[in-house]
């Protein structure tokens, strides 16, 4: 079968555009027959992915970052009957953080990634869904997407350092919301600084927002918390960069739960993101659900 490669030249602040020849060489070296297309505008990747699936291409290879993968999955999910597995997806990592790649234990090198695609081993990964939008790695409300609104304006720093600088700016602003939350067997009502909903464990290339999350356990890990002062928020920051003992979920005022669904109502609007991309700048009511094993991903 012929693969369709969807390459996002904007990934990693246009750095992906400079690696097109490298990506094609990796695919040819792995013996993969493919057709290459480029995303050209916002909302183009879901269209390209859906069209590729309808035309029978397999696998659909996303050459980009977490946002590009999430966009392609949205395109595939919206043309696939609810409950059925999505068309097969492979990944060539060209993003900034490459967080899903990290959780899947995929290599960052393009030649090694292409060899994994060629080997054809399929993993059945969970999907998250918020309202009518799907995500593969994580979603966030409150402080996390508020930080995203800061980092998208930072053009002079590249890579994970941009997220770190933006995080410091977000913490200094000290936003909070009053929330009502409900999930499978619990609820919460009170102030929150952040609510993060994780399928994968890492985000932003450096932050383990869901340190115990698994892509294959049929659950979403949610973490929510409130810290009263900027200093106490700053003290959490280095702990978000730990996956093991001493991570931020062990801190006072921070709570972690495993859920299959979550409903959130906030007293005022918040931005929200999926897979690092803002999908709204103003929302108050959200419903999250997990779809176990629905995404077919080529894995090591």
Are the C-beta atoms of residues 101 and 201 closer than 8 Å to each other? Answer: no
Residue 155 pLDDT more than 80? no
Give dist(CA 159, CA 148) in Å, integer.
Answer: 14
For residue range 6-17, what is the model confidence (pLDDT) as tens digits?
999 888 766 878
Higher pLDDT, 103 or 16: 103
Residue 17 pLDDT: 81
| Helices 143-151 and 160-173, axial angle in degrees (round to 10) | 120
CA distance 271 to 148: 9
Give the range among 170-174, 185-189, 289-293 with minimum mean pLDDT. Answer: 170-174
Which residue would you say has higher pLDDT here, 271 or 149? 271
Residues written for the chain = 300
- Residue 156 pLDDT: 64
Highest mean pLDDT among 114-128, 134-148, 230-244, 273-287: 114-128
Which whole number is the average pLDDT over 220-247? 89
3-state secondary structure 54-92: HCCCCCEEEEECHHHHHHHHHHHHCCCCCCCCCCCEEEE
Lowest mean pLDDT among 146-155, 170-179, 265-274: 146-155
At 153, the pLDDT band (50, 70, 90 cuts) reads: low
pTM value is 0.89
From 30-44, 109-123, 148-162, the region with the lowest mean pLDDT: 148-162
Quick one: pLDDT band at residue 167, thresholds 50, 70, 90?
confident
Is the predicted pLDDT of residue 133 greater than 90, yes or no? Answer: yes
The HSE-up count of residue 275 (CA atoms within 13 Å, CB side) is 23
What distance in Å separates the CA atoms of residue 286 and residue 18, rounded to the nearest whole number?
Answer: 38
Contacts with 256 (C-beta within 8 Å, 6 or more apart), sequence order: 212, 221, 222, 223, 249
Domains of the chain listed by start with CATH number: 3-120 (3.40.50.10330), 138-293 (2.60.200.40)
229 confidence band (pLDDT: 50, 70, 90): confident
pLDDT tens per residue across span 183-226: 999 999 999 999 999 999 998 788 899 999 999 999 999 999 99
Max distance between CA atoms of the chain, in angstroms, equals: 57
Scanning the structure block, which residue is given the tokens 């383990």?
208
- Per DSSP, the residues of the chain read --EEEEE-TTTTTTGGGGGHHHHHHHHHHTT--EEEEE--STTHHHHHHHHHHHTT-SSEEEEE-HHHHHHHHHHHHTTS-TTSPPPPEEEEE-SSS-HHHHHHT--SSHHHHHHHHHHT-EEEEEEEEETTEEESSEEEEEHHHHHHHHHTT--S--THHHHHHHHHHHHHH---EEEEEEETTEEEEEEESEEEEESSS-BTTTB-SSTT--TTSS-EEEEEE--SSHHHHHHHGGGGG-SSTT-GGGSTTEEEEEESEEEEEEEEEEEEEETTEEEEEEEEEEEEEEEEEEEEEE--
Question: pLDDT band for position 106 (50/70/90)?
Answer: very high
């Amino acid at each position: 079968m012929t693969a369709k490669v969807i390459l996002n030249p904007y990934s990693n602040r246009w750095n992906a555009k400079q690696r097109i020849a490298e990506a094609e060489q990796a695919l040819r070296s792995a013996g993969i027959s493919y057709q290459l297309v480029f995303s050209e505008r916002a909302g183009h990747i879901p269209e390209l992915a859906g069209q590729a699936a309808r035309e029978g291409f397999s696998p659909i290879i996303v050459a980009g970052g977490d946002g590009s993968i999430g966009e392609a999955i949205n395109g595939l999910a919206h043309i696939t009957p609810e409950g059925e597995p999505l068309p097969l997806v492979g990944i060539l990592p060209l993003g900034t953080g490459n967080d899903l790649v990290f959780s899947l234990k995929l290599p960052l090198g393009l030649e090694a990634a292409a060899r994994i695609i060629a080997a054809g081993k399929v993993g059945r990964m969970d999907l998250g869904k918020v309202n009518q939008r799907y995500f593969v790695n994580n979603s966030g409300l409150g402080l996390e997407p508020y930080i995203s609104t800061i980092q998208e304006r930072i053009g002079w720093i590249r890579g994970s350092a941009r997220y770190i600088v933006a995080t410091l700016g977000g913490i200094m602003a000290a936003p909070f919301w009053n929330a009502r939350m409900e999930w499978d067997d619990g609820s919460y009502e009170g102030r929150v600084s952040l609510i993060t909903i994780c399928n994968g464990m890492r985000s932003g290339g450096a932050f383990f927002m869901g340190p115990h999350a698994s892509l294959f356990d049929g659950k979403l890990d949610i973490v929510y918390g409130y810290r009263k002062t900027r200093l106490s928020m700053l003290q959490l920051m280095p702990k978000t960069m730990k996956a093991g003992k001493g991570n931020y979920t062990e801190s006072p005022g921070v709570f972690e739960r495993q859920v299959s669904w979550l409903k959130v109502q906030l007293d005022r609007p918040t931005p929200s993101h999926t897979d690092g991309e803002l999908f709204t700048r103003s929302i108050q009511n959200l419903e999250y659900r997990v779809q176990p094993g629905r995404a077919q991903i080529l894995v090591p």
